[in-house]
Amino acid sequence: MAAPGWLPPRRRSATARSVLAGEASAEAARKTALAGATPLTEPETEPQARTEEGPEPTPEEPVFPVAGDDLAAAFFDLDNTVMQGAAIFHFGRGLYKREFFRRRELARFAWQQAWFRLAGVEDPEHMQDARDSALSIVKGHKVSELMSIGEEIYDEYMAERIWPGTRALAQAHLDAGQKVWLVTAAPVETATIIARRLGLTGALGTVAESVDGIYTGRLVGEPLHGPAKAEAVRALAAAEGLDLERCAAYSDSHNDIPMLSLVGHPYAINPDTKLRKHARTNDWRLRDYRTGRKAVKVGVPAAAGVGAIAGGAAAAIALHRRRK
């Protein structure tokens, strides 16, 4: 898959598969947004904790985001940043409820999820196993079928798990006239559903291949995880004419340091231990919504395993048709 014509060439430190995954995700996100799937004019629900946890500036911080700055945008990780827990775990619950797979496969999936939570790191073999097992579940199913089910699953399991504080941060960027994108290893369709429900601009997510609207069980590139997220943000910024030094990025995981380092305004949200340490070393802003209070440049240790949901596992059920 060749690089889109709008993307300027450069030397790339990421792997070829990371670059492919990022560029495919950016292209898919732009096509979805241009097709009118997003954004909504207003969010469906008003954040419940805007006054307590909202992004209003403190005396130590300049006014941010800057209203009217059309060269800026915001990029939000999904799992444990915007939403409590892993999107793909909730999606898996919904598929099991609809008898997409058997109890034995559910137990295997649950074990993989628990391993990621407890270990706090992402072992390549475990990630590959999770990805392969989940892709086998959706192989042969229609894209339209999984999209429709995704809407139902959002209502059943995800809607009540949105962090009000992070939602308020995203709304501040929207109110300032900026675009707001989710960036996640979750399937791009799943991520787009969540973005649309929250009134965001769109989503960058893992892109999977389909032929004639049927999933093949293969990914385009690799899961949108780690360096691939940074490649997706870079590609989208190039296509949208954004100045990354003016952009903001938000995440809970040290795996997203490449993405956070790409922008001029990185935020650690509900950070895991490694990200908290890195953020403090680099004087990044921190906010923790698990404790019910705002933490600006003050690290709050992550509860055991909470910040460690694997983006690679989230990519296991990638649901996007291959863009040609």
- Find out whether the peptide bond into 223 is cis, omega within 30 degrees of 0: no
Per the CB < 8 A criterion, the answer to whether 280 and 296 are in contact is no
Angle between helices 87-97 and 188-197 (to 10 degrees): 100
Beta bridge partners of 205: none
Per the CB < 8 A criterion, the answer to whether 199 and 180 are in contact is no
- Round to whole Å and give the CA distance between 103 and 108: 9
Per the CB < 8 A criterion, the answer to whether 116 and 88 are in contact is no
- Round to whole Å and give the CA distance between 300 and 52: 17
Given the residues 69, 70, 77, 272, select the one marked as catalytic: 77
Residue 77: active-site member: yes
Q: Burial, 43: exposed, middle or buried (Cβ in 10 Å; 0-12, 13-18, 19+)? A: middle
DSSP labels, 192-256? HHHHHHTT-SEEEEE-EEEETTEEEEEESSS-S-THHHHHHHHHHHHHHT--GGG-EEEES-GGG
Torsion angle, alpha carbons of 107, 113, 114, 115, to 10: 110
* Continuous segment of H or E residues that includes residue 181: strand 179-187
Given the residues 70, 79, 283, 288, select the one marked as catalytic: 79
Residues 6+ apart with CB under 8 A from 52: 165, 292, 294
Residue 132: active-site member: no
Beta bridge partners of 142: 214
Per the CB < 8 A criterion, the answer to whether 106 and 114 are in contact is no
Q: What residues are labeled active site?
A: 77, 79
